[in-house]
Amino acid sequence: MSGTRSDIIKVIDGVVHAESGEKSQKCYDNWTKNYDVNLTNIGYFLPKRAVESFTNYTKQVNIEKVLDVGAGTGFVGQYLRKDAKYEGVIDILDANMEMLHLASKKDLNFRNIIRHWIEGELPVRDESYDVMMCVGSFIPNHVPVTSLPGIFKCVRKGGLLIFTTRVETTESYKQEFDELLASMERDSAIKRLEMKEVVHFENVEKKINSAIYVYQKL
């Protein structure tokens, strides 16, 4: 589908508000061919903004291994390699095989490409990454809020968690998301370093915001 920007937004709304994760993934199967060009058309720079946060918080830190959760077609990896000039390990993980296949063809030197329905603990070793990034996937019918603790286990103590969620349009998801993060902070599992709001799609008339979070694993 390579239609107008309003057509693209309708497709995105269908993915976000699908009745189930399975139906959402079927939408992605049909969309993958035009996914990159469509998102570029509507100004999807959220991965770029998240990688800017990565750069800001890793200037004086030795980062060797990054896990990109909900990687899709590899936007985050692309910005890590080309903008942040990151040369270390990148492993990518997503539920959609078509998108992972497209990501694998981008010559971004991914170490591991993992297909996994992100509904709990990840199929990786605990505390095996310096940074976990997850951009655009903490939304309904994608990654359940309850998966946060299991996902965070993959990062070593002192490592960074950089992720996003929509501020609007996701009903109770955002509230549950922030409540769980606050609970994990109270339990001294994580420490918030930053939260900032940015425009999710920059080239559309009706703007929605997403929040970029940076946490440190304690």
The DSSP annotation for 39-60 comes to: HHHTT--HHHHHHHHHHHHHTT
Contact 162, 212 (CB under 8 A): yes
Hey, what are 50's tokens? Answer: 């998240």
Q: What is the pLDDT of residue 2?
A: 54
Q: How many angstroms separate the CA atoms of 54 and 156, rounded?
A: 16
Q: What is the pLDDT of residue 90?
A: 98
pLDDT at 139 over 70: yes
pLDDT at 1 over 70: no
pLDDT at 3 over 80: no
Of the pLDDT bands very low, low, confident and very high (cuts 50, 70, 90), residue 97 is very high
Calculate ∠ Cα 58-156-162, nearest 5°.
Answer: 50
Domain boundaries along the sequence of the chain: 5-41, 46-217
Of the pLDDT bands very low, low, confident and very high (cuts 50, 70, 90), residue 44 is very high
Q: How many angstroms separate the CA atoms of 129 and 89, rounded?
A: 9
* Among the four given CATH numbers 3.40.50.150, 3.40.50.360, 3.40.50.300, 1.10.3720.10, the one describing domain 46-217: 3.40.50.150
Task: Read off the pTM.
Answer: 0.95
Mean pLDDT value across residues 144-157: 96
Q: What is the pLDDT of residue 216?
A: 98
Using alpha carbons, select from 187, 89, 194, 198 the residue that is nearest to residue 136: 198
pLDDT at 16 over 90: no
Residue type, 38: N
pLDDT at 120 over 80: no
